[in-house]
Amino acid sequence: MNSMSKKLAIYISASAIALTLIAIILYEFGYISDLKQTILNKDEQLATAEQNLLEKDAIIADLDAQLQVYRDSVQLLQLENQQLKEKIESLKGTVSKLSLTIKKHDDKVRELTAEINRLNDSDSADKRKIAALEAKRDELLKEIEKQDHERMALKEQQKAQEAAQRSNSSQIEKLNAQVESAMDQQDPAPLVPMLQEPTQAEPLMEQTPTVLDQPAINQAPGEIVKPNYAPEISPEMQSVIVNRQAQRLMSVVSKTTVQFNSISLRNKEGSSEVKKIKKNDNEWRYTYLDFDLNNIDREVIMDEFFIIQIFDLDNNKVIPYNEKNPVFPESEIGAGGFKFKYDGKPVSVRYINTQEKQATNFELRLLYVNKKGLTFPLANGTKRLITEGRVAVD
């Protein structure tokens, strides 16, 4: 009996131990299952965070590209403003000279009128002389009227240029403010907190990042507009395209140089070269130019349009390539110089103008003409032609 009791006790103890072990094993299995699920959850969280990080980098890169477009646009507007400033100063100078000429004519008209009145009041009036003086006075009055119309037209041009300059300045301020606002934005793509469950995270794909309004490049002053993207072109690609346009323009304007191979001033074809000129003379009529353009990146100037000018420094005006035609006084053909398309070969120009030259200081200027017809002076595109009446080139 004692033997049976002992065996029974052993069986009971063994069963208890077995049950305990089974319980422990089942507990461990549950713990391991929970641990595996936790690990899976963390893996999913890490994958989501990594995806969000990639999307954040893409958004930041896009914003950086758009900020660069703004900076390029501001630089172009500043360049246009500099060009407008030069035009305004040139117009002011011309208007001032016209005003001075008109005043001199007015003084002369008063002198003639006084002389005519004096002759009319004399006992022995010289009718022939009076008629001659009246004819001269009438001629001066017509000239005054013509010059006054020209002066008013120039003032209107000046107002338009100043308005464009103000518009550009306003756009520059607006763009700078938008850039500062964009730079002050909160991080457009916050990272997912690593200790949160994936279900609590907000994927970046569902966020709406702030996107800058991109200004168009190469527009006329005061015409900053939002580009209309074609459906097949992404905003990112459009940013790249616009940025490349700005870089191309800056490369043409700042890095293009002119190599003048020969410059010859003559009175007529086949005559000897002119070495000196006099004011209000037309001994200098022909200018023969041979030159080439250079740029580190030749492609940026290929098939682009340029203008070569002879510029009157004393009177701030261009010597027309084609003389003013009295029949078509408003014609712009050749008025701004000789326009040409560069094809990679040296350029030869026969610049003809037989009008009297009203100055003794002239220079050659080369300008770039973009697709919208805006002109930009090349940073390295000027050469002195005549200084104080003496030809300044060999």
Is 230's pLDDT higher than 80? no
User: What are the tokens at 216?
Assistant: 């168009």
Which residue has better confidence, 228 or 48?
48
Distance, CA of 191 to CA of 293 (rounded, Å): 52
Mean pLDDT is highest, among 185-189, 229-233, 362-366, for 362-366
Residues 178 and 271 in one domain: no
For the segment 123-149, the average pLDDT, to the nearest whole number, is 81
Residues 24 and 137 in one domain: yes
Distance, CA of 175 to CA of 214 (rounded, Å): 10
Q: What confidence tier does 149 reach under pLDDT thresholds 50, 70, 90?
A: confident
Give every CB contact of residue 197 below 8 A, 6+ residues apart in sequence.
41, 45
> What's the pLDDT score for residue 119?
80
| Residue 37 lies inside a defined structural domain of this protein | yes
- Count of beta carbons in the 10 Å neighbourhood of residue 309: 25
Distance of CA 17 to the CA centre of its chain: 89
Model pLDDT for residues 156-182, shown as the tens digit of each residue: 888 888 888 888 888 888 777 777 666
Residues 47 and 158 in one domain: yes
Among the three residues 165, 188, 211, which one is the final residue of a domain in this structure? 188
Distance, CA of 286 to CA of 270 (rounded, Å): 10
pLDDT > 90: percent of the chain: 17
Buried b (16+ CB within 10 A) or exposed e, 246-255: bebbbbbbeb
Q: What confidence tier does 279 reach under pLDDT thresholds 50, 70, 90?
A: confident
73 close to 105: Cβ distance less than 8 angstroms: no
Nearest residue to 177 (alpha-carbon basis) of 148, 213, 230? 213
Residues 183 and 261 in one domain: no
Residue numbers of the domain that contains 89: 1-188
Residues 172 and 268 in one domain: no
Model pLDDT for residues 350-359, shown as the tens digit of each residue: 898 888 888 9
Q: Return the CATH number at 99.
A: 1.10.287
Residues 158 and 300 in one domain: no
> What's the pLDDT score for residue 341?
93
Residues 364 and 279 in one domain: yes
| Residue 213 lies inside a defined structural domain of this protein | no
Distance, CA of 356 to CA of 286 (rounded, Å): 12
DSSP annotation of 190 reads: P
Residues 182 and 264 in one domain: no
Distance, CA of 180 to CA of 13 (rounded, Å): 80
Residues 180 and 260 in one domain: no
Mean pLDDT is highest, among 99-103, 112-116, 284-288, for 284-288
DSSP annotation of 184 reads: T
User: What are the tokens at 366?
Assistant: 């080369």
Residues 137 and 263 in one domain: no
Distance of CA 348 to CAs 111, 256, 289, 311, 377, Å? 51, 18, 6, 18, 20
pLDDT > 70: percent of the chain: 68
- Count of beta carbons in the 10 Å neighbourhood of residue 312: 18
Q: What confidence tier does 262 reach under pLDDT thresholds 50, 70, 90?
A: very high
Which residue has better confidence, 103 or 78?
103
Which residue has better confidence, 310 or 151?
310
Q: What confidence tier does 366 reach under pLDDT thresholds 50, 70, 90?
A: very high
As a whole number, the mean pLDDT across the chain is 75
Task: Give the count of domains, the chain.
Answer: 2
Q: Return the CATH number at 281.
A: 2.60.40.150
Which stretches of the chain are DSSP H helices?
A: 2-121, 127-183, 235-255
Q: Which of 8-12, 33-37, 78-82, 209-213 has the lowest mean pLDDT?
A: 209-213
Among the three residues 130, 164, 188, which one is the final residue of a domain in this structure? 188
User: What are the tokens at 350?
Assistant: 């026969």
Q: Which residue has tokens 């005043």? A: 103
| Residue 202 lies inside a defined structural domain of this protein | no
Model pLDDT for residues 330-351, shown as the tens digit of each residue: 445 567 889 999 999 999 998 9
Residues 13 and 156 in one domain: yes
Distance, CA of 20 to CA of 26 (rounded, Å): 10
| Residue 128 lies inside a defined structural domain of this protein | yes
Q: Which residues are registered as beta bridge partners of 310?
A: 319, 364
For residue 319, the surrounding DSSP H or E stretch is strand 317-319
Among the three residues 140, 170, 188, which one is the final residue of a domain in this structure? 188
| Residue 216 lies inside a defined structural domain of this protein | no
Nearest residue to 98 (alpha-carbon basis) of 164, 158, 162? 158
| Residue 194 lies inside a defined structural domain of this protein | no
Q: What confidence tier does 11 reach under pLDDT thresholds 50, 70, 90?
A: low
| Residue 221 lies inside a defined structural domain of this protein | no
Q: Which of 2-6, 271-275, 303-307 has the lowest mean pLDDT?
A: 2-6
| Residue 320 lies inside a defined structural domain of this protein | yes
Is 271's pLDDT higher than 90? no
